[in-house]
């Protein structure tokens, strides 16, 4: 009887351990980053930052980075870059990223990112990197291509793997970069030992769906040299109104959602929907008495009202740079604690360790 009870206890212990392990294994560790190359625009907000906020509120382990090392793959003015780092920090905090719940840090302050990037680079090939779409797109107009632009997807993989993240929120245009990260994780695990989880992509199409205001066949982009093509979170209300009034639509006056044939007005309906929570059908019905020129004013009002509290909080945060620096320093310490453990494990596996001598 005692032996039977012991067996039952042993089974229960094994079963409970299995459940705990499964819960740990299934827990989402989120990593995502954003470049400090200016203020986020509507596509960045709805496609990335708002998603970060949702993932944070779902009790995931969220690690968010302002990836300044990535930003210098193309030339940056040092003074402007420092200003943009504070601006991006204020934007993220104003949009609901909570540094007490999530880790928010500056990439360059955690040197293990560059260290792991070098190690992963030894498993990468020039052929694979040259086929990545972001490299093709960004290099096509350059006479001289910086090496950083070519190899930055390896650093991107290091960003993810350093924190053993298993879920990566990305737009469709970044899927091949996540696939590269998966590839590098598998190569390392097979060659040495299992150190990295193989991450999965959380694909959000919203960012890709929000189009340029003046070129609605292209997505809204921070790197676009024409500021008329986007609305930034820092734009004052009168500029938001101006941008939307100048947005390209067509010669049909009705407000209808038809992305293939009417991409301009459909883009405005999408933005209106994201700012109000109304579906496309409701929006079209409510505005059927307006022409597209009048409808632009309705969209502008919705955008201005939606971002008013965010802009208020952002301006308040920007007036306290000491606080913003403190947030990044606190995040750096938390990030370094995780990064140091991972890089030591990696070094031990690769043989870059003097511990056995």
Q: Exactly one of 50, 138, 228, 242 is catalytic; name it.
A: 138
Verify whether residue 278 is a known catalytic residue: no
**SS3 state of residue 219:** strand
Question: What letters, b where the CB count within 10 A reaches 16 and e where it falls short, cover 22-52?
Answer: eeeeeeebbbbbbbbbbbbbbbbbbbbbbbb
**Burial status of residue 283 (CB atoms within 10 A of its CB: 0-12, 13-18, 19 or more):** buried
DSSP codes, 136-158:
HHHHTT-SS--HHHHHHHHHHHH
Assess contact for 178 and 201: CB atoms under 8 A: yes
Confirm whether 334 is a catalytic residue.
no
Phi, psi of 311 (to 5 degrees): -65, -35
The partner residues of 64 in beta bridges, in order of sequence, read: 32, 104
Q: d(Cα 206, Cα 223) in Å, to the nearest integer?
A: 18
The three-class DSSP label of residue 248 is coil
* Catalytically annotated residue among 222, 228, 278, 334: 222
Catalytic annotation, pick one of 164, 211, 219, 332 = 219
Token code pair at residue 272? 């209106």
The question of whether 316 is a catalytic residue gets the answer: no
Q: Mind telling me the catalytic residues? A: 138, 219, 222
């Amino acid at each position: 009887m005692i032996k039977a009870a012991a067996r039952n206890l042993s089974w229960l212990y094994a079963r409970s351990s299995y459940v705990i392990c499964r819960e740990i294994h299934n827990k989402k560790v989120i990593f995502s980053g954003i470049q400090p190359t200016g203020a986020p625009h509507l596509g960045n907000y709805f496609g990335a930052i708002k998603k970060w906020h949702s993932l944070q509120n779902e009790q995931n382990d969220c690690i968010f980075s302002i990836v300044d090392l990535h930003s210098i793959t193309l030339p940056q003015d040092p003074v402007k870059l420092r200003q943009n780092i504070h601006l991006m920090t204020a934007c993220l905090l104003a949009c609901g990223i909570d540094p007490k719940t999530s880790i928010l840090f500056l990439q360059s302050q955690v040197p293990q990112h560059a260290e792991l990037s070098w190690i992963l680079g030894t498993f990468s090939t020039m052929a694979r990197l040259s086929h990545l779409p972001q490299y093709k797109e960004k290099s096509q107009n350059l006479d001289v291509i910086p090496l950083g632009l070519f190899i930055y997807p390896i650093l991107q993989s290091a960003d993810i793997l350093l924190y053993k993240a298993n879920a990566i929120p990305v737009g469709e245009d970044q899927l091949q970069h996540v696939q590269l990260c998966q590839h590098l994780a598998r190569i390392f695990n097979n060659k040495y030992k299992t150190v990295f989880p193989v991450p999965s992509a959380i694909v959000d199409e919203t960012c890709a769906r929000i189009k340029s205001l003046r070129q609605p066949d292209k997505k809204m982009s921070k790197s676009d040299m024409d500021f008329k093509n986007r609305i930034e979170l820092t734009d004052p209300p009168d500029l938001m109104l101006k941008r939307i009034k100048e947005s390209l639509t067509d010669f049909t006056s009705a407000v209808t959602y038809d992305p293939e044939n009417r991409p301009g007005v459909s883009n405005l309906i999408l933005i209106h929907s994201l700012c109000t929570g109304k579906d496309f059908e409701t929006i079209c019905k409510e505005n059927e008495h307006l022409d597209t020129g009048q409808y632009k004013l309705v969209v502008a009002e919705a955008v201005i009202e939606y971002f008013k509290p965010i802009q208020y909080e952002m301006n308040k945060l920007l007036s306290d740079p000491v606080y913003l620096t403190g947030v990044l320093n606190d995040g750096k310490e938390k990030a370094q604690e995780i990064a140091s453990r991972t890089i030591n494990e990696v070094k031990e596996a690769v043989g870059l360790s003097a511990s056995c001598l």
